[in-house]
Structure 1
C-alpha cells in the first residue's frame, strides 16, 4: 500500500513562472515539473494572484478547485466561473488566464497526453461505515475531513475472498489502518486494493489509457 504524503512534497515553479505546484504523481517520472516529459501528471497548485496558466501542447487538462471559493478561468477568450469541487476539462493548448474574485485558491490538476491517456476526476463524500476502494489506475486524494486507509481483503487462488477458519488462522494479522492528512494521496492497486474510511471529501483521479 502506497501513500503519498503531501507534507513531504517539494514546491516547484510553474512552467511559465506564474505560481507553484506540488506533483503527486506522473508517468513516466520526469526530472522536474517543467520539462513536460511525462504522459500524465497529477498535481496540486496554489494560485495566489491573477495570471496566465502554463500551456501544455498536445495535452488535455482537468482542473478542480479544492480550496477557496471561486476561480474565474478564461479559456481562449471564454469565461468559466469554477466553484469548489466542480471539475472542469479543457485543452492544454488553449490560452488560459485565472482571476481570483474571492481570494486565493488551490487547484487539483490532472494533465494527460491526448493521444495516449484520458484523465477523470470525481469528488465523493466519505463514509465511516462503507469503505471506498482505490483500484489500479486511480489516485485518491483526501480533500477535507478525517480518514484512514488500510489494505483490502486478499483474494484466494481462485479469485474469491479468503474465508473460513483455516484461512483465518494462517493469515497474517491485519495491518493497522493508517491515518491520512489533508491532501495525502493513496495509490490504487488491484492487489488488496486500499480502502478508505472516514468523514469528509475525497478526490478520485482515474487515468485511462486511450485505445488504439
Structure 2
C-alpha cells in the first residue's frame, strides 16, 4: 500500500529522471536565490487548462493562482480569508511581477454551473454557487438572451468573466497604482481546449482576437 496514487509516483519518477535531471542547476539556483517570475497568471483550476503547459514554461517562470473560473473578487480588506487576493498581493508586492494575465478557457465547468440557474447546490455550503455569484449581473444578462444558443452563452460568459476579473484587479490599490505608473500590465486571454487556440483580449476594444503570429 502506497501513500500516494501510483500514477502520481510514476509521474514523479519520470520527472526526476527527465526534467529535474535536465535542469538540476536551475532548480538549485531557484532554491538558493528564490523565485523572480515576471508574470502572474490567474487561471481556472480545470485540469485541462494548465498555464505552465499552455505557455511551455519552465520552473520559476510563472507565478500561478488557480480557482474556479479564474475569477478575481473585488478588493475587500474585511479581515476574512481571501486566497486569490493573498496570492495577488504576494505577486505584486513581494515578487514585483511586471505582468498579470487572466486566462479563461472553453467548456469551463464553473461558467456552466453559473448558467444553470436551476441546478441544486453541490453541498449545503454552496461554495461554487456563492463564488460564481461574483458574475451575477453578467450571468443574468446572458441567460436571458434568448437569441443565443447554449454554446454561445457559455463562450460569451467565459470571456465576460475575464473582463470582470480585470476590472476587479483594478480595485486593488497596489495594482491600480502600478498600472498607472506603467510598471504593471494587465492582459486577458482565453484558451480553447478543443482546438488549442489562444485568444487574446484587445486592450482597446475588449474583443478577443487571434494574434497574427499564432
Considering fraction of residues, name the structure with more helix. 2
Q: TM-score, normalised by structure 1?
A: 0.22
Q: Which has the higher strand share?
A: 1
